Amino acid sequence: MKTVVILMVLVAVGLVGVYYISGYASFDPTKEGLEARKAIKPGMAWTKVMEIAGEKAKYQEVSKVKLAAVGSMTTVLGSADEEDSVLVAAPKQAFDRKRVARLLANGEMPYGFALSYTFSNSVAFRIVFDETGSVLAVDDEMTMADLLQLK
């Protein structure tokens, strides 16, 4: 019996040690997300955003569509040049840095793109970029904390 108690104490001490040594004790995704959101400013290059917020983002290409083709579930990002067209974001997909770099270099994103970051259940935001990869705007996205009115 004494051996079992000693073993349980040693396991508990080991787990506490791993908890603090691994850095998990200081891990705070909400704080990290708020700091990243605050650091990102309009005009900043997309590569700088990657340094600040990381590459764990969802990617959306922006395209121009006729107003009649826009469905109720489509995210409208703004009006286009023509009165009967709007800029919309495509469905979210996994971010691929090489692909985005290639598309920007070839001028294949004439209406830009957007990146969505979710750091925690209370911090999520979308960054909209222009056709050159410069930040146009940073907007908060709906989170579970918003739905439950915990903010």
pTM above 0.75, yes or no: no
pLDDT digits (tens, 9 = 90+) for 68-104: 655 554 555 555 555 677 788 888 999 999 999 999 9
Segment 12-29, tens digit of pLDDT: 777 766 666 765 555 788
The enclosing H or E element of 122 equals none
- Specify the amino acid at residue 5: V
The C-alpha atoms of residue 131 and residue 77 are separated, in whole angstroms, by 14
